[in-house]
């Protein structure tokens, strides 16, 4: 079974600064997908960024980028130019490439990000 570990329960950053959230995972599969989701107080999970394991290039979405290290099974999220609206719980998630019940998302426990003005 796959597991996802987020070792930072809480992080804080000053507005306009950069912060990196860590995520490691354990799997025996070679093909899979990794995601970062944001959950603000409104509770709705919002996809921030995704990475296909077969792609060596790190994904980037505006101020959000990832550092995907497949051999180390590491998938960190970097938020540049942090904004007050970035404050939320961030979840790292894993999904298998194959079908059946492996289409489920496996989430970490989350990292609560605080942005200080």
Partner 1 sequence: DAGVTQSPTHLIKTRGQHVTLRCSPISGHKSVSWYQQVLGQGPQFIFQYYEKEERGRGNFPDRFSARQFPNYSSELNVNALLLGDSALYLCASSLDQGGVTEAFFGQGTRLTVV
Q: Which positions lie near partner 1, rule CB under 8 A?
A: 4, 33, 37, 42-47, 50, 52, 91, 93, 95-97, 99-110
Least distance from C-beta 16 to partner 1, angstroms?
29
Least distance from C-beta 75 to partner 1, angstroms?
14
DSSP-assigned letters across all residues of 28-51: S-SSEEEEEEEE-TT---EEEEEE
**Residue 92 β-bridge partners:** 36
Plot region of 114 (φ>0 → left; ψ -120 to 50 → alpha; else → beta) = beta
Is the Cβ of residue 82 or residue 96 nearer to partner 1 in the bound state?
96
Is the Cβ of residue 7 or residue 14 nearer to partner 1 in the bound state?
7
């Amino acid at each position: 079974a796959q597991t996802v570990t987020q070792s930072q329960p809480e992080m804080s950053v000053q507005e306009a600064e950069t912060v990196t959230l860590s995520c490691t995972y354990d799997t025996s599969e070679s093909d899979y997908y990794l995601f970062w989701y944001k959950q603000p107080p409104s509770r709705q999970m919002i996809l921030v960024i995704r990475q296909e394991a077969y792609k060596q290039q790190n994904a980037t979405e505006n101020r959000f980028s990832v550092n995907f290290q497949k051999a180390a099974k590491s998938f960190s999220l970097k938020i540049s130019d942090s904004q007050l609206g970035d404050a939320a719980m961030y979840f790292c998630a894993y999904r298998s490439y194959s079908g059946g019940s492996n289409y489920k998302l496996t989430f970490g426990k989350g990292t609560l990000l605080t942005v200080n003005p």
